[in-house]
Amino acid sequence: MEDLSQEEWASQLENDENAVVLDVRTDAEVADGIIPNAIHIDIYKGQDFIDEIEALDKNKNYYVYCRSGNRSGQACAIMNQLGFDNAYNLEGGILEWEGDLVDLE
């Protein structure tokens, strides 16, 4: 797992053709907006979270975020334990995000 600053995360993501953006917030948080093209898997879903993560392609690079960076850090650690080599945590989370957000509605 690697913690990336907002600038590093955005820059690396922009230049990564093998990237997947992963939002691990709750449904209520996601309702406030989501980074474009992100997939949403709530870390609080327990075993369902693990099951959904295990179904992902381990050859992709995952850019993981939550509200403040804590849960996404935990998600990256879980992903590393499951055999994912490329999970990048967004330091400061979406609270410090300066890029675009989209509504899921």
Mean of per-residue pLDDT scores for the chain: 95
Could you tell me what percent of the chain has a pLDDT over 90? 90
Q: Are 86 and 62 in contact (CB under 8 A)?
A: yes
Sorted by where each starts, the structural domains of the chain and their CATH numbers stand as 2-96 (3.40.250.10)
Q: What is the pLDDT of residues 32-73, one digit of tens each?
A: 999 999 999 999 999 999 999 999 999 999 999 999 999 999
**Which of 92, 93, 77, 96 lies closest to 21, judged by CA?**
93
Is 54 or 99 the better-scoring residue by pLDDT? 54
Exposed, middle or buried by CB within 10 Å (0-12, 13-18, 19+), for 25? buried
66 classed as catalytic: yes
pTM for the whole structure: 0.95
The catalytic position among 66, 76, 90, 94 is 66
Q: Are 63 and 20 in contact (CB under 8 A)?
A: yes
